[in-house]
Structure 1
C-alpha cells in the first residue's frame, strides 16, 4: 500500500510541476485534457460511440451457473488516451464493432460542443485506431512567426508550409514537381511564404535560387533584398533582363538533359536526389504577370515588349514542362492567376497551387480549379480579413477536397542573417555543370542557338 501511495504521489507531483511550469494557454489545454478523460465514458455513450456486449465473460458465466441469474450485458466504450498541446488536445482511441472511423466522424459536432472546441476532426491512425484532434484556439486566427534554425533540411523534397485548421503540419512533396503557383491579393502572404522556403533551404548547398521580381526595378528595393547573398541571379521588372535570365536557365535545362545520363547515371534526377554538384535549381517568378502581359499597340516599343513577353512565356513553358527530371523547379506568384497573368499552358501543368485571399470567385477558380466551388468553406474569397493575413487555401496531395493553412511570417532580420551566413553555398548551376559535365556536352547540337548568354558571360 505504501509503495502504491508513493507511486501516485510521484505522478501527482510530476503532473503538478508540469502544470505550474506551463504558460496560460498550455494550462488551459491541460485542464481541458483532464475534463475529456474524466467525462469520456459518459459522453461516448451519449454520442453513440459505445456498443452493448451481451456475451458474458468467463467469470460472469461461472457466477450465472451458481446463482441462476442472467448476467447483465456490458456496455463497452473505446479506450481513449489524451494529450494536451497549445491549441487543444490530441486523443487516440481504438475502434469497436459498429464503432469505427465513420461513427467517430459523425460524432464530431457533439464532441466539439462537449469539449468546448472550435472544431474537431477524426482521421485514421492505422488498423482499428483513430486520432481525434480538438482545437480550442483556432490556429488560422493566430498569427505565427518562424525563426529559421540555420540547419540544412533533412529532405529538400519536402516543403513545410505551415499548419492547417487543426494545428497539424502541412507539407508538400516537391519530388518530380515541375511548378508551383501561388496566388492572392497584395499583402496577404505570398512573398512571405516564399521567403520562408528560401530561409529554410538556404543552409543546404544542394539547392540554388534565382528570382525574377516584377514589383521592383532593382534588388535593393524589394522583398528579396535581404536574401540577395543567397541568390545566384536576380532581375527586376525589365523584360529584357528577365528574358536573358529565362534563356540562361533554358540553356541550363538543355545541357542538363544532354548530360544527365552520363553524369548521374539516371534519366531522372529525383531517383538519386539533389547534390552539391547537381543542385535543385529553383526559379521564383514573383508578380509573374509582369513578364507575360499581352501588350497591345502598333508602335515599335509596344511591339518589342509584346515579343519579349511572348518569348518569356515560351521559355518558362520550356522550364516547367521539361525541367522536372533534370532538377529545375519554377515557382510562380501573382495576384490573380487567370490566363492573362500566367498563361494557361504554364499554369495548368503546375500540380501544386495555393491561393491566399481572393476578391472574386473567378480568381479562386483560376488559382485552385473549378472544384473549389464545391468546397465553400475553403474558398479563398472568405479570407478577405486582416485576421487571415498569412492564411491560404490549397488542395493537399493525397487528400480529397481543399484545406486552409496558416503560413508563418519570417522577420527580415532573420532572413538577412540566414542569407549572410549561407552566402558561401551560392553557386551558379551553369558553372557547376560546365565543370562536372564538360566532357559530356559535345553533342554536336547548337544548344545556344539564338542565345547570346554564354557561360563566360554568366
Structure 2
C-alpha cells in the first residue's frame, strides 16, 4: 500500500508539473501576442468550451444506439439496455490575428455538406464575419472563421532579401479567410492584370519583382507605357534589377520585343541538346537558363490601333501591329523555354490587349473595375454568375490592393488582399540584388560555350 501511495504521489506531482508548464507557456504566448491575436485566443477558448452543445444544436452530432464495447462486456443480460450515446466530432482550435481555424472530424451522416450547411450558424455563435468549410483530407474538415475582414485590413510586405525556395510559386497575398494564396508559374506563358488607376496593379507586380529579385535564376525586362525613361514612374526603384527597360517609345519597345523573340527562337533550337528536355519546367530555371519575365505595363500603349492615312500614323500603326505579333509569339511559344509575359492594363478588352494574346494567358487578375464589361474582359463570362465576387464591388477605397481571380480547385472566384511594398524596400531590394542582373542572351552564350556549342547572339539593348 505504501508503494502504491508513493507511486500515486509521484504521478500527481508529474501531472501538476506538466499542467504548470502548459499554463506558463499559454500565459507567455498570450502576453507576447498582439491585440488581435489575444482576442482570437479568448475566442478559441469559447469555441472549445461550447463546442459539444453547439454541435448538437447545429445538427453536427449523431446518435449511436449500439452500446460501446465496454458496456457490452460489463452489462448482464438482465440489465436494462444502455441509453444511446450522442457523438460529437472532435475538434482542434488554432487562433490567429483574424480569427480561428478549427479542424474537425467527420461522422456518419455528418460530413462536409453538413458542416457547410451549418456555417452560418457557426458564424453567429462564434461572432465571426464569415465562416468557410473545406475538406482537409479523408474524414476531416477545416473550418475557418474570421472575426475581422482580411480584405479591408491593409497589409505590408517587407522583402527578406532571400531567394524564394520554389521559383514556381507566386505568393499573391491572403484571401477573404486570411488563407495564403499562391499560384503556380510552371508552364504558365502569360498573366493579365487589370484594374482602374490606383487600384493596386503595379504594387502587386512590384511585390513579384521584389520576391524573385534575390534569385539569379530569374531575369526581368519591362516596357512601361506610362513613362518615357527609366528614372520615371513606378519601376524607377526596380530598374537596377532589370536587364532591359523601355518607356512608351514604340520603336524601343519594338526592339525589345524583337530581342526577346530572338531569344525564344535560340532557346527553342537548343533546348533538347543543352537541357536534355523539351520543356524547361521539367528541370526548372537556373542561372544559366533563367526564367525570363517580360512585364508590359499599360499594355494598350504598345498595341493600340492607329487610324489615319498620313505617313506618321501608318508607321505607328505598323509598329503596334508588329508589337502584337511579337508578343503573341512570346505568349504562345515561350512557355516551354521559360519565358513569362505579364500584361498590365486598366481594361483588358480586345482594343487594349488583342484577344489572341489575352485569351492564351491562363492567369487573370482584376483589381477594382467600374463596369461589368471590364470585369468580364478580365475574368471571363462566368464572373457574371458570381456578383458578390465581381471586381465592380471593389471600388471603395478600403479595397485598394484587393484583386479577384479564378483559382484552380476552387469554385467561383477568390478575392485576394495583396500586400503593399514600400518604395524604400523596393529600392533597397533592387540595389542589393543588382549584381544578379544578367542578359539571358549572354547566359545562353556561356551555357552553349560550356557545352562546346557556338551561336551568334543579337546585339545587346541598353536600358
TM-score range, shorter chain: over 0.9
Aligned to 1:422: 433
In structure 2, how many angstroms separate the alpha carbons of the residues matched to 1:58 and 1:353?
Answer: 56
Please say if 1:168 is aligned against 2:179. yes
Aligned to 2:6: none
Aligned to 1:13: 24
With the length of structure 1 as denominator, give the TM-score of the two structures.
0.96
Pick one of 182, 190, 200 that aligns with 1:179.
190
Pick one of 452, 458, 462 that aligns with 1:454.
458
Aligned to 1:210: 221
Pick one of 367, 386, 393 that aligns with 2:378.
367
In structure 2, how many angstroms separate the alpha carbons of the residues matched to 1:149 and 1:456?
Answer: 31
Q: Give the number of aligned pairs.
A: 449
2:256–2:461 contact (8 Å) kept in structure 1: no
Aligned to 1:306: 317
Q: CA deviation at 1:124?
A: 1.0
Q: CA deviation at 1:17?
A: 2.1
In structure 1, how many angstroms separate the alpha carbons of the residues matched to 2:355 and 2:70?
Answer: 71
1:295–1:305 contact (8 Å) kept in structure 2: yes
CA 1:279–1:321: 2 relative to 1, 3 Å: same
Aligned to 1:434: 445
1:61–1:71 contact (8 Å) kept in structure 2: no
Aligned to 1:247: 258
1:182–1:334 contact (8 Å) kept in structure 2: yes
1:430–1:455 contact (8 Å) kept in structure 2: no
1:206–1:276 contact (8 Å) kept in structure 2: yes
2:288–2:446 contact (8 Å) kept in structure 1: no
1:228–1:419 contact (8 Å) kept in structure 2: yes
Pick one of 66, 79, 82 that aligns with 2:93.
82
Unaligned 5+ segments in structure 2 are: 1-11
Aligned to 2:169: 158
Q: Which moved more, 1:32-41 or 1:429-438?
A: 429-438
Aligned to 1:402: 413
Unaligned 5+ segments in structure 1 are: 448-452
2:98–2:146 contact (8 Å) kept in structure 1: yes
Matches within 5 A, 1:261-280: 261-280=272-291
In structure 2, how many angstroms separate the alpha carbons of the residues matched to 1:3 and 1:306?
Answer: 83
Cα distance per residue 1:239-285 (max 9 Å; x no partner): 11100000000010011111111111111111110010000000000
Task: State the secondary structure of the residue aligned to 2:223.
Answer: strand
Aligned to 2:104: 93
Matches within 5 A, 1:9-408: 9-65=20-76, 68-408=79-419
In structure 1, how many angstroms separate the alpha carbons of the residues matched to 2:213 and 2:176?
Answer: 28
Q: CA deviation at 1:387?
A: 0.2
Cα distance per residue 1:291-334 (max 9 Å; x no partner): 00011111111111111010000000000000000100000000
In structure 2, how many angstroms separate the alpha carbons of the residues matched to 1:162 and 1:40?
Answer: 31
2:40–2:100 contact (8 Å) kept in structure 1: yes
Task: State the secondary structure of the residue aligned to 2:63.
Answer: strand
Task: State the secondary structure of the residue aligned to 1:281.
Answer: strand
Q: Which moved more, 1:251-260 or 1:10-19?
A: 10-19
In structure 1, how many angstroms separate the alpha carbons of the residues matched to 2:68 and 2:328?
Answer: 69
1:255–1:441 contact (8 Å) kept in structure 2: no
In structure 2, how many angstroms separate the alpha carbons of the residues matched to 1:318 and 1:187?
Answer: 30
Task: State the secondary structure of the residue aligned to 2:408.
Answer: coil
